[in-house]
Structure 1
Amino acid sequence: MWVFSDAASSYPELIAAGQQLGETVTAIVLGSPDDIANAFALGAGAVYHLGDKNDTIMVEDYDATIASALSRAEGPPTLLLLDTSKRSKALAAKISGLLDAGLINDVTDISIENQSVKASHMMYGGLALAEENIHSKIAVVTLSAGLFTPQLADVTKSGQAQILPFVPPVGGIQCKERRVKQGNRVNLNKATRVIGIGRGIASQSDIDMVAQLCGVLGAELGCSRPIAEGEKWMDRDRYIGRFRCDD
């Protein structure tokens, strides 16, 4: 089992998933020595280090580097688990193409049966549930948040990371400019409660009343597509919909 995310906050659940689905978890880490130590503390049996985060290299451009490591893996079929961020999905698709590996995104249930990956995911905008199997030697899956109980760190666990030399991708992505996104980021998938509003809200000022209710109930505030994209009263991160809440 292999896991990767460019967000350290995703490793507790990814490593927990890897441990439940297999015996040994190998974590690929892009970050600082503290991130490496955290991966070992969470239970990774081995850690490969891509180096510190680099503004000149896009996360998606580590596809050839990670694919090279996966192709050298020995033993039973290999499964790579990633989170469902936009960058992880783009990276997963590129790795899948390089290795001719089966890929399933936004997985809501997963198991290993007869050395094949069996996974469920929503389709048709959440109107249906599909079950699929991956029979290729290497499988790539992006896991929806909340499927596995996050692993607790044990600081007594440690290890020595191995360096993964960067393999330049074919047709890499060049970053021309970075802009700070306005508004507060929120992941509705990780919320225990969500209160949603729609066109029943008469004016933008009424949102404050619902926000106060969220504070009392310990809930996140979500909204319908017209509120986020039509009225633009709330950030798109709070849009309750299949293709907004997963990012």
Structure 2
Amino acid sequence: MGKIGCLLIHGFTGGAYEVNPLARYLRETTDWIVSVPTLPGHGRNLHLEDAHAREWLAFAEEELERLWRYCDIVYVVGFSMGGLIATHLAIHYPVSKLVLLSTAALYINTGQIFRDLHVMVKDATRRRLHENEWFGHYKYKLLHTPIRATWEFRKIVLTTRPLLSQINVPTFIGQGLMDGIVPPKAARYVYDRIGTYQKKLYLSQTSKHLICYASDCNDLFGEIAFFLNCEDHPDDG
């Protein structure tokens, strides 16, 4: 087998930090070239005023082509919106395997959001809101995400979702059952619609949206590594 590369793509309004725990795991357990680029306008500090869906897709294509300069085989991992971008790459380029985490084919999980908000209200009444991880993570995003950028995200969803049946490479689908952004049913939606019979569905009992930070993330990472290293991928959904 030739040199292997793995491209990890983060989500909308996110950055490399969203998938860095998985990237570290893969670097520590393999000799692969692991690439975790930051999409234009994204990162810890957001600059999404002039963001365009086509720019995000083109950037991901360039990063994929860069990996192929050094690798014979390339896997693509996508988180949230990055899962849709990864789907685009797998359909249009000879990607060997695909990993989709918390993929935003459907969104918003209102039930979980109300549960999270209830926790936030309790924290606020106890004057502990600043300690609430959910609140701190999304407050900045809400204040720095232009409406137009959200429409660009929707373009990614609306143009990619109808193409799921064209995926014909082995695909791993991971989803947190406590995700407040992407409803858990999105994972089954993707699983049922992708064209490949070589697919695996993994559900985390404890994970919210940032699945790479769940308390059981090491189990998830082990499953992903096994999937990517395995030559045979039976349908086990």
TM range (shorter): 0.3 to 0.5
- Normalising by structure 2, we get a TM-score of 0.36
Q: Which has the higher helix share?
A: 2
